[in-house]
Structure 1
C-alpha cells in the first residue's frame, strides 16, 4: 500500500463526513424549547427530568449519527430522532460534547448525562449499570482509500493491516473476532489503533497512520455518499465472526427514564417516523422491527 502523507485538517473532515446529514436540535435551540406538559408521555417522566426541563445526552462526532457544526449545533440521525422522541416526551434534548465511551459511561453514572444514544453495543456487562433500548443493528465495515481498492477485494484483506477504530466501540470487539478467523486461516492478525472519535480515525487513515478504518455500516455509507470516489469499504462476514450487533440508547439504571423513553420509541415506530429517518440516511438494512428494552437480560 502506498504512503499517504497529507494530513486533512479536522475542520475539513467534519465537513466531509457530515455533508449528507440534515439539521437537528443542538445545545442552543433544544434548551430554548419550553416543556410541553400536555405531551403524551410527559406525565411518565421522572420528577428530576421534569424539574430540569430537558434530557441531556452525551455526544461526540460520529457521522451520520452526529456531526458538530461550526456554530456548535449537532446534525444527523441522533438529533433528527430526538425531535420525534421529544414530541412524545414533552421536553427537549440537549447534547453535551464528550470524548470517548468511558467518559460517557462514567458521566451517566455520575449524573452529568441522562443518557447516550451511541452507537453503542448492548451487552450483559453494560446492562448491569444501564438500561438499553435497542433501536438498530450494525455490521462492522472497513473503510479504505479508493486507490487501494485492488488490495481489498473482500474483508479477508483486513488481516495484517492497521485498523483505526474508536476505543470501546463495536469495531474493537468485531476486530477481535476477525483476528481469530485470520489466525485460523494462517494469516496475520490486524493491529487495532484505538482513538477517541470517528474524526480521529479518518485522520489516521488520511495521514497513513492506519490502512483502514473500522466503523459501523451507517458511517461507511455516509462517508461514501459524501465522497464516492475517495473511499471504498468491505463488510465483515458471519464466517469471520461478524453476526449482527444490537445498538442501543443507554440510560442509567434506576433513573426512571427507561420506560417512558421506550414508549416514545414505540410511538416513533408506529407513526412511521423511525422508518423515514432510517430511509433518509440510507440505512434501512440496519433497521429493527420494534425497539426492545434490555434484550440481553430479557426473560
Structure 2
C-alpha cells in the first residue's frame, strides 16, 4: 500500500511509476489480506538453515525458530490476499518465499489492520511488516504525518518495489474526474492510514469555493471498493497495482475504471524495528540474492507488475 505518510503514516501504506504503466493492468488479470499462514509454496517449509546460503546472516533466535513472523494486511490483491482456498498469495508472499529459501526460514504471514502493523513491530508481535508499505521519512523517524509530531521510534525499511497511487471510479460514471483536483466537491473512499488518505486530506485543503473533498476511510481496501461499487462515493484510490487489479477483476472488469495517471511514486519497503539491524541486513542480502538469481524477476512477471521492479535492495530509500 502506498502507505501513508504520504500507503501509509507512522502507522500506515503507497502499497509505478513509468509512463505507460497502465498497460500493466492488462497483465494482472491473466495471473490472477487475524489468522496466520505460511507464505508462498510449500517448498519453503522444507528450507533448512544448515544448507541455506544466507542463514548465517540471521539473528540466532530467528535461525533457531526457523520462522520470521510477518505482519500484513492480507486484503490487498495482488500484493497480498487469500485465494479461493484461503491460502495467502500475491507479490509479497511469493517474494518472501523466495527470500526464505536463501535464509533457510519460513515467512509466516499474520493478518492485521494496516494502520496497526508498525505498532505490532514495536510490541514484538511481528518480526517484520511486509504489506505494500510505502517507505517514507516520517515512518523512518516515527512522525505522524497528520500532526508532524513524533509518536514512536520509527522503523527501518528494506525497499523492494516501486508503486504510485491511482484514482478509480465506477465504470462509465464521473467521467469528469481525471486528477486529484477534480475531486473537490466530491466523495472519495480509501483505506485508512494510506497515502491515498493523506493525498485526499492534502488536496481538500487546496479546494476553493467551499467545495472540499468528502473522505470516507475504511479498515481495508476491499471495504472501500464495496462502498464505491454500491454507489456510495464518486471515486476510490489505492496503490496502482491494487487499483489496476480491482479494475480488471471486479465484476469481470465491469465495475471500475482507472482515471488519470498515478502519482506519488515511492518505494514499498519491508519494515523492521530500528533495533533489529542484523535482521534488516539479512533481508537486504536475501533480496539482493533473489534479484541476482532471477527469482525476483519471475515473481514480478507472474503478477504483471514489471513497471515497479527494482534492480537492487535499498535501505531507507524513501523520501
TM-score by length of 2: 0.76
Q: 1:191 aligns with which of 187, 210, 214?
A: 214
Structure 1 position 244 matched with structure 2 position 265: yes
Cα displacement string for residues 129-153 of structure 1 (whole angstroms, at most 9, x for unaligned residues):
2110111222211111103153335
Structure 1 position 277 matched with structure 2 position 299: yes
1: CA distance, partners of 2:202 / 2:240: 17
Pick closer, same or farther for the CA change 1:161–1:35 going to 2, 3 Å.
Answer: farther
Q: Displacement of 1:93 after TM fit?
A: 0.7
Q: 2:77 aligns with which of 63, 70, 75?
A: 63
Q: Displacement of 1:200 after TM fit?
A: 1.1
Task: Give 1:125's aligned residue.
Answer: 138
TM-score by length of 1: 0.81
Task: Give 2:166's aligned residue.
Answer: 141
Contact 1:132–1:249 (CA<8 Å) still a contact in 2? yes
1: CA distance, partners of 2:126 / 2:241: 25
Q: Displacement of 1:71 after TM fit?
A: 4.2
Contact 1:26–1:79 (CA<8 Å) still a contact in 2? no
Pick closer, same or farther for the CA change 1:163–1:259 going to 2, 3 Å.
Answer: same
1: CA distance, partners of 2:120 / 2:110: 11
Greater RCO (Cα-Cα under 8 Å, separation 6 or more): 2
Unmatched runs of 5 consecutive residues or more in structure 1? 1-17
Q: How does 1:1-299 map to 2 (within 5 A)?
A: 26-27=37-38, 32-33=45-46, 35-60=48-73, 61-101=75-115, 103-128=116-141, 129-148=154-173, 150-183=175-208, 188-226=211-249, 227-235=252-260, 242-255=263-276, 256-296=278-318
Pick closer, same or farther for the CA change 1:235–1:35 going to 2, 3 Å.
Answer: farther
Cα displacement string for residues 75-114 of structure 1 (whole angstroms, at most 9, x for unaligned residues):
111111112111111101110111232x211111111111
- SS at 1:38 equivalent: coil
1: CA distance, partners of 2:104 / 2:45: 13
1: CA distance, partners of 2:117 / 2:31: 23
Task: Give 1:9's aligned residue.
Answer: none
Contact 2:243–2:258 (CA<8 Å) still a contact in 1? yes
Q: Displacement of 1:178 after TM fit?
A: 3.3
More deviation, 242-251/85-94: 242-251
Contact 1:140–1:174 (CA<8 Å) still a contact in 2? no
Q: Displacement of 1:236 after TM fit?
A: 5.1
Unmatched runs of 5 consecutive residues or more in structure 2? 1-27, 142-153
Contact 1:20–1:222 (CA<8 Å) still a contact in 2? no
2: CA distance, partners of 1:33 / 1:181: 54
- SS at 1:244 equivalent: strand
2: CA distance, partners of 1:73 / 1:19: 18
Cα displacement string for residues 38-85 of structure 1 (whole angstroms, at most 9, x for unaligned residues):
111101100121122111101221111111235442011111111211
- SS at 1:214 equivalent: strand
